[in-house]
Amino acid sequence: MNNLKGICLCMLLILVTFQVEAKSTDKFLKRFQILRSQDGKLIGIRDRTLPVNFQVRPYIDMVKSQLKNEQSKMLEKGNYDQDVRDLLADDSAAGFYSNEAYNQKVQAVLDSLKKVAMLNIDGIFTHPVFKDIISKYESKITDLILMLDPSMIAVVGDSTYFYKRNVTYQAVTWALDLARKKLSNIPLLNTVSYVIVEVQKLITERRSFHQNMLLHYLENFPAEDLGLTHDEVNLVWSSIYESRIEWYAYWESKTAKSNWAKYGVNNFYGNYRFANQNLHKSEVLYSEVNQRLNFAFQEVVFNNDKVIINLFDNEGTFKNYPAVAMNLTKPTLVQKKRVLLSIAELGLSFIPISVTIRDGITNFMKSFYTKQKITEGALYGYFESEGNQTGMKNIVDQYMNPFEISLKL
């Protein structure tokens, strides 16, 4: 009888395991399309959810809403400055990483936000010249986007496929020149310039975000379950890392081409070793080190909060420890900080300071989220494969990319 129970239990566990794996694999196949030639040779991988059509309007709506919400907070009673300081210091390890230079940068964030408080938001975004420049920019960048199918996230047969098509920056240069010629009003010029630059970044970062989703599946599921061979997975890895070569790094493009079969493998496992080292050196900060979710993310307890840390990217300038990707105890904390810093970036453009100082403060603000939110594509992939809709929604909310309509639940 006991043996029968044991067999039944074993069969049940096998069935449950099979169902979980099948469910996860189904999500992979629903999102990703594996493209093959007529003779069965792998061409690449397409993400079905990445749209080809493009409009700037979703970003304009998002920025307007964020600016107005922040202006309302500034007008409310209470100590707004202290609330901002608390938010930016919330994740510091018992103040250990605080220093005067950091405090000066925080003060610059506050000064930038005060400039935002004085903006006529509706007047700027409804101005005829603003709308005309954005419309022309939208048309220009759409033409460039269509030169490279935006849904393709891996192309294994061409070792320079993405390097040769890194062209959207051309639309930014063209639109910024147009804005300077047509606008003398500083709030209008600064805001339209900010929108032009940020839109291009948000469009181009989508591919990396979705590639990181794919990396989660490639790492955690057998190749054959995904409809690939071991060697094909290696080629997909190579294509992903080739797409991340900067346009000026021709030497790296040559390296990828000369070692195409192993280029991606070497990069992936090199990054994996770095992540392990990063976890090891920062373990002293955490009262608990719990489940490893994938190559880039780890669950820990930090400052008495259950959090998921990003082992690839640091928290930010002056904070040399893994970024908190998600605070499970305070789920909206990361999003609030990122919205605040993105608004402050716009406000900074209205402060009369030297370019060198402005660039330093801008880099400080961006250091807290620009790389981190893209790496979090792998965390979204984890939540998706687990069927965790709450986790998926939290990642989308703090990703702050209005062009990712398909990810919204």
Q: What is the pLDDT of residues 38-57, one digit of tens each?
A: 999 999 999 998 876 778 99
Nearest to 36 by CA among 243, 232, 222: 232
Q: Label residue 340 by pLDDT band (50, 70, 90).
A: very high
pLDDT digits (tens, 9 = 90+) for 50-80: 876 778 999 999 999 999 999 998 888 678 8
**Token output for 187:** 């709030």
Nearest to 115 by CA among 210, 193, 186, 33: 186
pLDDT digits (tens, 9 = 90+) for 7-27: 444 444 444 344 444 446 889
Between the alpha carbon of residue 133 and those of residues 137, 172, 349, 396, the distances in Å are 6, 12, 19, 29
360/387 Cα distance (integer angstroms): 41
pLDDT at 89 over 60: yes
pTM above threshold 0.85: yes
**Token output for 243:** 């797409």
Q: Region 237-259: what's the mean pLDDT?
A: 92
pLDDT at 232 over 80: yes
Place of tokens 């419309």: 135
pLDDT at 407 over 90: no
pLDDT at 144 over 50: yes
Please count the other Cβ atoms lying within 10 Å of the Cβ belonging to residue 139. 11
